[in-house]
Amino acid sequence: MSYFITTPIYYVNAEPHLGHAYSSIAADILARHMRQRGEDVFFQTGTDEHGEPTALAAEREGVTPRELADRNSARFRDLMPKINASNDFFIRTSDQQHVAKVQEVMQRVHDNGHVYEGVYEGWYCPRCADFKTESELGPGNTCAIHEIPLERQREENWFFRLSTFQADLERLYEERPGFVVPDFRRNEALAFIRQGLQDVSLSRPNISWGVPLPWDPGQVMYVWFDALLNYYTSLSYAREGEDLTARYWPASLHVLAKDILKFHAVIWPALLMAAGIEVPRRMVIHGFLLMGEKKMSKSLGNVLDPFEVIERFGADALRFYLFREVSFGQDGSIAPSGFEGRYETELANDFGNLASRTLAMVDRYRDGTVPTAEADPEVAGGDDGLAGVAAEVRELLDRVELTQALDAIWRRVRRLNRYVEEARPWDLAKDEGQTERLDGVLYSLIEGLRVVTLLLFPYIPETAGTLLDALGEDERGVPEFGSREGGAAVERIPPLFPKIES
């Protein structure tokens, strides 16, 4: 089955921060997990380059929008391998092929009778590139997200007849209860729709950095239409000489945060309906990474630089921390001190030590060869047993519960640690009458380690890969406990998570 997963495309008005890395890592975990399941995955991320956020930032810096876009887009592109993201494509909305495809789709929307000319008057946030309704305003007509004063706008625009899609959208939500997850976000989107939809501006005059409307080139497309369409346009040109649209559309999952819920859960499906294109299967809405009480954001000046964090702890530790510390879907505070704590207690101690000890014991007691034995029911069975973990993780990831799936794996890591303490292989090794028992214990440990490591692979691909090599495991699929026979050669390795210099 094909599985097409996307992240938001990020504004190039500034450099990437950890909040952007977060969405791309979330999508990467799912992409990797789906590849493990043998799905035909296409994973894309990229940059949103047109419109006012970029034009204004370029003006402030005294460069052209294209110069700023080139520079910052490269930073986002470079970020992806740094965070161990395995994206298959990186789209830029300044790509000529994207622009041409956007014009083609929007022309269809026009020809289908879903646009008209009118006058817009209201509040506008240039940082969100969003027209705000009265109910969305912060105190004193400010932007509730960026905490900046809003501008009163009056201009001649083309409009998209969003209001005419109200009934279609309500039906979509009814027929597909899982269209937006988690549920509370679905309810929020549905409430917004039910409250009554207003038509939205589709174009703006007096802006030059953007995609001209094909039927009225004096107007530039409102950046959100250009941006949302990235999910669709990319498939037509991501692979030279090949059109992937039939293979991957409709998208399986859009990953995004709550700040852009309305665009994705309301405007996007309506736009696709207007163009006669199938709507995506599902979207997952996550919360914000907070620093202290506030959303991490460039305009609030409280961002962490992902490049610096990775320099210090490594990409895998960052990935692990973010999905362990912040319950995916909720807002959650992060702090550099928290990285250190989890790095030491969980990655280095719980997991790293389990790996080192297990490999060392198989090396010492069985000459580095995994013994042939039955898995011990002591580790296999029960609520936290290794036997059920793969199915549990699959099921949780099907529901896009990234933190709960990681928790399910971690409970097994801890269970294996308890098992070492209880079974005391070092005592068994001293007693010749216990050879068979020791085989069973070592087999269960190394098999358990193999299973948790394969399940952790989407979360911490680099270290899990190193460990799987040491375990003599070439496969990267979703494992089944007890399915690998004895006989594999394993090797000791240096600590997976060495002490951090402070």
Which residues in this chain contact ligand MSP in the complex, by CB under 6 A? 8-11, 19-20, 22-23, 48, 227-228, 230, 256-257, 259-260, 288-289, 295-297
Q: Which is nearer to ligand MSP, 224 or 481 (CB)?
A: 224
State which residue has the least CB distance to ligand MSP. Answer: 19
Q: Which is nearer to ligand MSP, 10 or 323 (CB)?
A: 10
Q: Which is nearer to ligand MSP, 74 or 489 (CB)?
A: 74
| Shortest distance, position 295 Cβ to ligand MSP, whole Å | 5
| Shortest distance, position 22 Cβ to ligand MSP, whole Å | 5
Residues near 366 by beta carbon (within 8 Å), at least 6 away in sequence: 439, 442
Question: At residue 4, what are phi and psi to the nearest 5 degrees?
Answer: -110, 120
- Token pair, residue 353, equals 């030590």
| Shortest distance, position 319 Cβ to ligand MSP, whole Å | 14
| Shortest distance, position 164 Cβ to ligand MSP, whole Å | 22
Q: Which of these, 500, 494, 501, lies nearest to 355 by C-alpha position?
A: 494
Does the N-terminal peptide bond of residue 182 adopt cis geometry, omega within 30 degrees of 0?
A: yes
3-state SS of 9-48 is EEECCCCCCHHHHHHHHHHHHHHHHHHHCCCEEEEEEEEE
Helices (H) and strands (E) in the chain, counts: 21, 18
| Shortest distance, position 444 Cβ to ligand MSP, whole Å | 40
DSSP state at residue 476: -
DSSP state at residue 381: S
The secondary structure of 221-268 as a DSSP string is: E-HHHHHHTHHHHGGGTSBTTB--HHHHPSPSEEEEEGGGHHIIIIIH
What's the rounded Cα separation, in Å, for the pair 260 and 95? 23
- Count Cα neighbours of 38 within 13 Å in the Cβ-side half-sphere: 4
Q: Which is nearer to ligand MSP, 114 or 264 (CB)?
A: 264
DSSP state at residue 176: -
Q: Which is nearer to ligand MSP, 231 or 481 (CB)?
A: 231
- Count Cα neighbours of 252 within 13 Å in the Cβ-side half-sphere: 20
| Shortest distance, position 175 Cβ to ligand MSP, whole Å | 24
Q: Which is nearer to ligand MSP, 289 or 393 (CB)?
A: 289
Cα-based distances in Å from 421 to 357, 426, 431: 11, 10, 17
| Shortest distance, position 256 Cβ to ligand MSP, whole Å | 5
Q: Which residues are catalytic?
A: 17, 20, 125, 128, 143, 146, 295, 298
Q: Which is nearer to ligand MSP, 326 or 441 (CB)?
A: 326
What's the rounded Cα separation, in Å, for the pair 319 and 24? 10
